[in-house]
Structure 1
Amino acid sequence: MWTESTLAVALTFALLLLALAIRARVSLLAARDRVALAERLAAARGRCLSLAAQELRGPGLALMAQAADVPLDPAGQAREGNQIEAVAQQLLRLADDLADFATEPCPRALHETPALLGPVIDAAVANVAAQLRPGSRHWKIEPELRALKVRADSRALEGALAALLRRAARHSRDGDVVALRHMLGSETVAIVVEDEGDGLPAQDLITESASAGPGLGVNASNGTRGLDLGLTLARSLAAAHGGEIRLESAPGIGARAWLTLPRSRLLDAA
């Protein structure tokens, strides 16, 4: 038979459990509200960046057309036209970066599956090649790289590769070679993107600031092309896979980008 003291203890315990349940429910609802707010803010950010990209493309394309109509100077050179074209290309590059950055979800959730790198690379190359027209690059892809299979979100991996390929295309001239190969380490597997880069002056190479982190193999004193939001997106995608992106550049010679993933993500080759 229950005594009054036992009933009091039981009632107190029940009230405590009820209070904890209510508190947990309130915390859960607050967390859901924060997630929903973050998603709405991310969507609004994406819309704003997409609109900004569209606004930049108009002047960029107009300047490109204007550059083609500028007459040659007395020496038969197109210096003024080349300067206008350079500004137009900068606007179009920034528009591309803004469009890429606008598509990045926050937070990023990976949908990992076994992914053969051949189709992922082909999709990234096709994406970048379509943006280069009427220009082109010779894409030299190592057969062994195409045969590798990794555990990854193929769409996210394609996005990171496309950003690096787009960067390589910007560093090189029409008809230059952009090579893709792989490097295996004891703890990592890397996709390496190399471009010739002979068509760009040293001060115009994209370099990373010291704040981007050590070991990037670049010199921040050589100048910059701006925000390079596409590279920021690529780093985010690589980090979501537990990897990283490193850059190396040699003025007048070429540039190299490393997309490094944990070796544990490498599966049996196809």
Structure 2
Amino acid sequence: MSVQDPTKLLIVDDLPENLRALDALIRAPERLVFQASSGDEALALMLEHEFALAILDVQMPDMDGFELAELMRGTDRTRNIPIVFVSAAGRELNYAFKGYETGAVDFLYKPLDPDAVRSKASVFVTLDQQRRQMQRQMAALERSRQEQETLLRELNQTQEELQRSLRMRDEFMSLVAHELRTPLNTLFLEAQMRSLQLKRGTLATINPDQFDAMIKRDERQIKAMIRLIDDMLDVSRMRSGQLSIRPAQVELIDLLERVVSDLSLQASSMGTTLALRPHHPVQGCWDEFRIEQVVVNLLTNALRYGGGQPVEVSVQYAGDTVRIDVRDEGKGIAPSDLDRIFEPYERGARNGEPKGLGLGLYISRQLAVSHGGELRVTSKPGEGSTFTLILPTCEQTVGAATTA
């Protein structure tokens, strides 16, 4: 037991000289001895401190030692404090029997035997030290158990994450193979057909319009594969902190008009319309290629999942911030999926089979963050979805956000 955590002993007697004598007998460096001259004072001390032993004088005014012991046994805080009674009365009064009845562990008669008092005090000090040591050991065991449980939970979580990563890897490889196989098969069949016509000498029979259509199909398939590879490269660059952002002055409305115009034919082929609300010019300092990449991803998703309903793009400008909303009227997104759709390789199947690698929204959000902005979505099932891209227009903000 250290000096900072001594064992506490209580002596109770109405006579100061008796208190001094007892104090001198049981005091030691590893002990704190508290004195009380009445039962009320003793109870107050016991409610404040944890005692290893209480030595009570039997014959005290107002409240004698037996009454004090009965009160102690009636309270949880003091019930288990060992009691040793001290009395100057003769043995013929049989106080010892009454003392043991009240729960005392011993009964001493005056004049006290100093060696006996020291010995009894030492026994209870040793018991108290052993009890506290056991409590510390139990607390250490409990902490160890909790740490082991925490470690086990972390190990289980790590194992689950590893298994999820392995599943995602397998699914991703399967998905990449599927997405690349389609354009490659088309190119392969086209090449076989031309090779066959070349061998037969009938290549000249293909009219220019047919030949032009073949070339355009080839270009679409090649662009599709390039887009898939670029997406995978972008994710790799983002995770390694090597994605390059090259900000420059950009006129946003011109960019949006160009993208909407380029995608209008695709919208028309899907039986829907794509419109940009009129807005006065908005200047900002961004990487034009990357912002166009985000807008194309958002519009492509809106057309894909919009259920053939119109898609609208609107712009709100507020000084140092511009907000671009892409609104569709499709089936919407379940609340549980609103965060998930921004994770890599997560694909929404809101309208038929999912398409793509599930990287578009992940890349778009990372690009928004790289510009010091944000990308978020609001949606309710059956009410469509609105993807909101918020960008700072200030060059200093963009520059600070793209140094990583």
Normalising to structure 2: TM-score of the pair?
Answer: 0.36
Question: Which of 232, 236, 243 is matched with 1:102 structurally?
Answer: 232
What are the superposed Cα offsets for residues 41-62 of structure 1, whole Å, 9 maximum, x if unpaired? xxxxxxx9977632155789xx
- Residue 272 of structure 2 is matched in structure 1 by 137
Q: Based on CA coordinates, which of the two structures has the bigger radius of gyration?
A: 2
Q: CA RMSD in A?
A: 4.2
Mapped contact 1:56–1:95 kept (Cα < 8 A) = no
Query: What amino acid is aligned across from residue 134 of structure 1 in structure 2?
Result: S
- Distance in 2 (CA, whole Å) between partners of 1:201 and 1:236 is 23
Give the structure 2 partner of residue 115 of structure 1: 250
**Could you say which residue in structure 1 is the equivalent of 2:372?**
242
User: Does 2:394 match 1:261?
Assistant: no
Of the three residues 324, 329, 342, the one matched with 1:191 is: 324
311, 314, 323: which is aligned to 1:181? 314
- AA matched with 2:273: H
Report how far residue 133 of structure 1 moved: 6.3
How far the C-alpha of 1:132 sits from its partner, in A, is 5.0
Between the aligned residues of both structures, percent identity stands at: 23
SS of residue in 1 equivalent to 2:279: helix
Structure 2 counterparts to residues 1-270 of structure 1, below 5 A? 53-56=179-182, 98=228, 101-102=231-232, 104=234, 106=237, 107-129=242-264, 131=266, 134-144=269-279, 147-174=281-308, 176-185=309-318, 188-197=321-330, 200=331, 207-209=337-339, 228-264=358-394
Aligned to 1:111, what secondary structure does the other structure show?
A: coil
Distance 1:154 1:211, change over 3 A: closer
Task: Determine the C-alpha separation between the residues in 1 that align with 2:266 and 2:336.
Answer: 19
Offset at 1:152?
0.8
8 A contact 1:129–1:136 mirrored in 2 = no
Cα gap change, 1:201/1:139 in structure 2, threshold over 3 Å: closer, same or farther? closer
RCO higher in structure (CA 8 A, sep ≥6)? 1
Length, aligned pairs only = 174
Go from structure 1 to structure 2 and tell me whether the alpha carbon gap of 1:123 and 1:211 turns closer, same or farther (over 3 Å shift).
Answer: closer
Code of the residue aligned with 1:112 in structure 2: it is P
Shift of 1:261: 0.9
Say if 1:201 and 1:108 are closer, same or farther in 2 by CA, change over 3 A. closer
3-state SS of paired residue (1:143): coil
Query: Within 1, Cα distance between the matches of 2:336 and 2:303?
Result: 12
Q: Secondary structure at the match of 1:144?
A: coil
Q: Which amino acid in the other structure matches residue 166 of structure 1? A: T
Aligned partner of 1:44 in structure 2 is none
Gap change, CA 1:148 and 1:186, over 3 Å in 2? closer
